[in-house]
Structure 1
Amino acid sequence: MKKTLLSALILASISFTTSASEQDAFKVRPYLQNPTNTSMTIMWVTTDSNAGEVVVSGEDFSKSVKSSPQQAKELNYYPTEIEKYSPDTATPYIHSVKVDGLAPGTQYEYVVEQGDEKYSAHFTTVPSKDGDVRFVVYSDSETEPESTGKTRRWSEPYGDFDRQYLVDQTTGYQENIRVMIERQPNFIAIAGDLVESGNEQRDWDEFWRHNAGEYNNIASYVPLFPALGNHENYPGPDGGMKEYNTELALQAIARYKAYFDVPDNGSEVEAYKDRFYRIDYGPITFITLDTSDGKEDKTDKDTNWRLPGVNAPDFNPGSEQYVWLEKQLADAQKNSQFTFVQFHHVPYSVGPHGFPTGNGGFDNGQDNQSGVPVRVLTPLFAKYGVDAVFAGHDEMYEHSLVDGVHFYDTGIGGDGLRGPYFGEDGKYKTDLDNPYQQFLAHLDSPEVWQDKQLISGGKHYGHMEVNVFQNNQGVWTTEIAPVYVFPIMNKQGEVTSWERRVYDDVVTLTAN
């Protein structure tokens, strides 16, 4: 990673020209989207309709672009939220500015001026095909204001299934992002379930507090590549219903689409745009799929029996998304050193969504939001040499190897920290297991305690870090490292600091 110490220091700071009491021009601070080797899109959200201005500068380059704010009614608070929480009900405006004419693999400073406020950050364009790349992937941050003060189940291996984690979800996610900032990745991919309830605007507000707001500002410096999860379709009680609903799911997806600008997938179906896409980033191809609702409904092809039907693209053979995927994979196999795919529903798992599809419940070995239907894509991944698939949904760290393809459940972003639901030490004693499993943090990273002090091991918040580079022999190499953020404790059992650690499951791949 060719970045300076100065860059690292800038990355941890924000530059304003106004006092704290005046710093309210941005409802969401500037964040990066849709990078290429000659352009970058900068987006932000305001509560007023005034245009902003972006000034981008670099060596022998300077450009100023005015924004054209668009009113985003999709981001209004749901009536129940207004009734219960009395938020500012002004309809926000989204600003999106594409800056082009840039050089590949080059760092640029930028300043966004909105009213009397100025916001300074920097970005780096996509490198050429011979450039190094570092990216991180996680899933299941599932942000909501209620995460503050709320811990999650942290099942004890061969012990208490309902034991609670050491800190709340807000702290866990904050520390996870802090470690990402220190590593200065080129981009961050999020394999679904960014928020707890897709139709609760407060949950989206919380997501941006972590990524372009008061908690952290990593998205001001590093582009986000999102994928849709089941929770992006979920209304939530404050978003209108405690169960999935077609109309409310469409409202929820509209919120998601309003925030993100991703490459055009070429679909003639308007509803399918922004739901699956491809990005070529230097020597790699990174493909994002939508697995949120397989067709036909309530069959072994469907990943969400509780979602009665939305304008989601099918992923099964013969579908538009499947045909598109095969075309992208065939091209990437010829033109990229490595190919990576992300989507939400992990196909191979010993978690709750590793059960086969059905409404019989876990006791009967069935799940109505199963990831098993997505296994239909494995032959395609194997045929076209996909190197790794990143997913989530089961909120654990589990690594499987199937027909030469590495599958990861990296659902440890900031919400659950589950143990197995079947297999060894599974909660439900069913005749099931994951024969492809290579590593499961619950079992393969045993906890070591000294009285009340955790010394090493265990299930923790984290992410995958992927480094792509040419080794000393000029061979293209990928190292995939499962990173976890370890809580350093004193002898009284209190968490005093955090440390980046890596599970003993690092995978090294070389390009053919």
Structure 2
Amino acid sequence: MTLTWFTTTAEPGELLLRGPGLKGTARYATEPVLEEALDYTEAELAQEIAGLAQGSWLHQGRNYKHTVDITGLRAGSRYRYTVRAGDATRSGGFSTAPSTDRWNRIRFVALADAETEPLGRVQRREWAPGALADGFAARPSAEEGGTWDGVFGTTVLSQVRTLRYMLTEDEGYRENLRIIDRRRPDFVMMPGDLVQGGGYQPGWDEFFRHNAGEVGGGLSERPILPALGNWENFGALNGGYGTPDDRMPVVRSRDKYHAYFDSPDNGTPAHRDNYYRVDYGPVTVITLDSSNGEPDDAPANYPDEQKATGQQFNGPGTDTQNNYTREEYEAAGGTDLADFNPGSVQWNWAEEQLADARARGQIIFVQFHHAPFSSGEHGLPMDHAFTSGQGGTPMRQYQPMFEEYDVTAVLSGHSEMFERSFVDEDGDGVGVYYYDVGVAGDGLRGERRDGSSLDDPLLSYNPFSEWTADQHEPERWELVDGVLQLVEGGKHYGHLEVDVERRPNGVRVTMTPVYVFPVLDGDYRLQRTERRVYDDVLVLDLDSSGRARAVTG
């Protein structure tokens, strides 16, 4: 297990560990390393956020990193620890992974697009309208000056005045994590967009405030398996993606990610942390970096008369972003970009890991940020008239490989919606499930429309989609004590809960889409949130070699 913590001063640290196989208390001393990449910029120090006292979200001091790699622990065991630095202490605990031959049940959760930032404490995102239940009332009016507008606010989204959501981004993410903590998962997967700009230090401060700080401590108890998202390549307040002549904001953004997360070695030092493999007992998680495809591509490469329209698909393309090129990135001093296309170092590494995991009979999951099959905003290739310039379709090139090696599911984010797709290219009834789990705590988008307005019909660009919260979980509004209330369904913040259970003749995998439901009183004040489950629980039975046999739900 790798334990990492940060202090604001350079005092040496100490880790005290207690648990099975240890003689008394094991002690580890640390010499902290100053992470200059995590210093505040002048723009961050001067930032003002309406509704918050200026600078109230900033920490004092600098960022000193302490890391201990602990080996020799027993499988499937519980340990308690305390870290010390000067007079300060912090305590927690963790469980080690079970062995591959002695386990009963493993639970993990996957969620993406938390996109944390201090502004999230006061910001409510636009709540894109989705399906409405037949025979029930429509949403409350979104008119300016109306009841909803007075409590939560409204805004114009895609030319249509729309309700703002009932929870702030901060509340949504916090309640999501609270529900996760109560379910006690063994580990957490986060396929990208952890923060609202990897180069924006207050965004990282906010992320750890929720996960290992004053708001919540889930990551002090269980491991996180993160992936790079497009926002981890973005400088936000500190220059965005930079300019063609200066891509330092992108380099600094990725430097912060590398400062926080130390992933297992992948054999290519320049690509360390970008992609990696973790075996958690019988479960293998392979994390890829979908940030950069080569050759570089951009919408400007396609004349208007040659652009695809409607549901036309000319191929996946090669690149998931048009914001910078490898040449520009390396000119700014960056050295860690990893192409994901066939024949690349990352591609060959992924195939090698998949083949090895399959030979060992592992249950395989893959994560990366850009959803390859998406009905949302980022589901269109670079040559489409409606492309965002950040489409995930190039990652479709991995599908034959995933199917060959019997990957159970691929977990992504990016379009900020909840969606499940199924792809079976050889038609044998056994394929790969793809989830967009981009509902951690930021946007609440719906399916892409065939036009620029929310009043346009659905584009329905993803032919492999089998379920979306946007269209398959209709909102049901009813009058409750004379007040129009949402009682069921709709788009909300949430996560995918995955249970892997040992059975007499194999393994059962249950994938449960969970959402955080806000309960309001008659004045639209938040009373509580509830853990609810969408009507799309998937149950897969695998044989003893980790290959799919049947779908029972």
- Give the match for residue 2 of structure 2: 41
Identity rate of aligned residues, in percent?
Answer: 40
| Alignment match of 1:342 (pick from 352, 367, 378) | 367
How far residue 470 of structure 1 moved from its aligned partner, in angstroms, is: 1.1
Distance 1:185 1:430, change over 3 A: closer
Q: Is the 8 A contact 2:263 2:272 kept in 1?
A: no
- Give the match for residue 141 of structure 1: 114
How far residue 357 of structure 1 moved from its aligned partner, in angstroms, is: 1.0
How far residue 495 of structure 1 moved from its aligned partner, in angstroms, is: 2.0
2:437 matched to 1:410?
Answer: yes
2:377 matched to 1:384?
Answer: no
Cα distance in 2, alignment partners of residues 117 and 437 from structure 1: 50
Q: Is the 8 A contact 2:21 2:73 kept in 1?
A: no
Secondary structure at 1:257's aligned position in 2? helix
Q: Is the 8 A contact 2:418 2:436 kept in 1?
A: yes
- Give the match for residue 494 of structure 1: 525
Distance 1:157 1:491, change over 3 A: same
Cα distance in 1, alignment partners of residues 291 and 161 from structure 2: 29
2:352 matched to 1:327?
Answer: yes
How far residue 96 of structure 1 moved from its aligned partner, in angstroms, is: 0.3
- Give the match for residue 455 of structure 1: 487
Cα distance in 2, alignment partners of residues 51 and 347 from structure 1: 45
How far residue 240 of structure 1 moved from its aligned partner, in angstroms, is: 2.7
Q: Is the 8 A contact 1:80 1:240 kept in 2?
A: no
Q: Is the 8 A contact 1:354 1:371 kept in 2?
A: yes
Larger radius of gyration: 2
Cα distance in 1, alignment partners of residues 127 and 447 from structure 2: 11
Distance 1:174 1:88, change over 3 A: closer
Distance 1:430 1:103, change over 3 A: closer
How far residue 374 of structure 1 moved from its aligned partner, in angstroms, is: 1.1
Q: Is the 8 A contact 1:284 1:336 kept in 2?
A: no
Cα distance in 2, alignment partners of residues 71 and 112 from structure 1: 18
2:87 matched to 1:56?
Answer: no
Secondary structure at 2:352's aligned position in 1? helix
Deviation by residue 1:212-250 (Cα, 9 ceiling, x = unmatched)? 1111110000111110000000111x2234757621111
Distance 1:63 1:505, change over 3 A: same
Distance 1:69 1:189, change over 3 A: same
- Give the match for residue 313 of structure 2: none
Cα distance in 1, alignment partners of residues 509 and 358 from structure 2: 15
Secondary structure at 2:70's aligned position in 1? strand
2:118 matched to 1:122?
Answer: no
How far residue 209 of structure 1 moved from its aligned partner, in angstroms, is: 0.3
Cα distance in 2, alignment partners of residues 137 and 200 from structure 1: 24
Q: How does 1:55-74 map to 2 (within 5 A)?
A: 55-61=16-22, 62-74=25-37
- Give the match for residue 401 of structure 1: 422
Cα distance in 2, alignment partners of residues 201 and 126 from structure 1: 32
Letter in 1 for 2:69: K
- Give the match for residue 211 of structure 1: 211
Distance 1:423 1:138, change over 3 A: farther
Deviation by residue 1:12-69 (Cα, 9 ceiling, x = unmatched)? xxxxxxxxxxxxxxxxxxxxxxxxxxxx111111111111111111245231111121
Cα distance in 2, alignment partners of residues 426 and 477 from structure 1: 40
- Give the match for residue 64 of structure 2: 93
Distance 1:208 1:88, change over 3 A: closer
How far residue 398 of structure 1 moved from its aligned partner, in angstroms, is: 0.6
User: RMSD of the alignment, in Å?
Assistant: 2.0
Distance 1:243 1:180, change over 3 A: same
Cα distance in 1, alignment partners of residues 232 and 395 from structure 2: 18
How far residue 89 of structure 1 moved from its aligned partner, in angstroms, is: 6.6
Q: Is the 8 A contact 1:107 1:123 kept in 2?
A: yes
Q: How does 1:264-303 map to 2 (within 5 A)?
A: 264-268=265-269, 270=270, 272-298=271-297, 300-303=317-320
Q: Is the 8 A contact 2:241 2:324 kept in 1?
A: no
- Give the match for residue 483 of structure 1: 514
Q: Is the 8 A contact 1:76 1:89 kept in 2?
A: no
How far residue 325 of structure 1 moved from its aligned partner, in angstroms, is: 0.3
- Return the TM-score normalized by structure 2: 0.81
- Give the match for residue 366 of structure 1: 387
Cα distance in 1, alignment partners of residues 459 and 95 from structure 2: 50
Cα distance in 2, alignment partners of residues 152 and 301 from structure 1: 32
Cα distance in 1, alignment partners of residues 114 and 83 from structure 2: 28
Deviation by residue 1:54-107 (Cα, 9 ceiling, x = unmatched)? 111124523111112111111111231133366557432100012222100100
How far residue 373 of structure 1 moved from its aligned partner, in angstroms, is: 1.2
Tell me whether 374-383 or 90-99 shows the greater mean CA deviation.
Answer: 90-99
Cα distance in 1, alignment partners of residues 458 and 280 from structure 2: 43
- Return the TM-score normalized by structure 1: 0.87
- Give the match for residue 221 of structure 1: 221
Distance 1:145 1:475, change over 3 A: same
Cα distance in 1, alignment partners of residues 467 and 490 from structure 2: 13
Cα distance in 1, alignment partners of residues 193 and 498 from structure 2: 21
Q: Is the 8 A contact 1:350 1:423 kept in 2?
A: no
Secondary structure at 1:100's aligned position in 2? coil
Deviation by residue 1:337-371 (Cα, 9 ceiling, x = unmatched)? 3100000000111111112214x7xxx33231111
Letter in 2 for 1:110: Y
Letter in 1 for 2:283: I
2:419 matched to 1:420?
Answer: no
Distance 1:353 1:100, change over 3 A: same
Q: Is the 8 A contact 1:417 1:460 kept in 2?
A: yes
Secondary structure at 1:303's aligned position in 2? coil
Cα distance in 2, alignment partners of residues 265 and 162 from structure 1: 46
- Give the match for residue 51 of structure 2: none
User: Which sections of structure 2, spanning at least 5 residues, go unmatched?
Assistant: 48-53, 132-138, 140-159, 299-316, 330-335, 425-430, 544-553
Aligned pairs, number: 465
Q: Is the 8 A contact 1:289 1:342 kept in 2?
A: yes
- Give the match for residue 470 of structure 1: 502
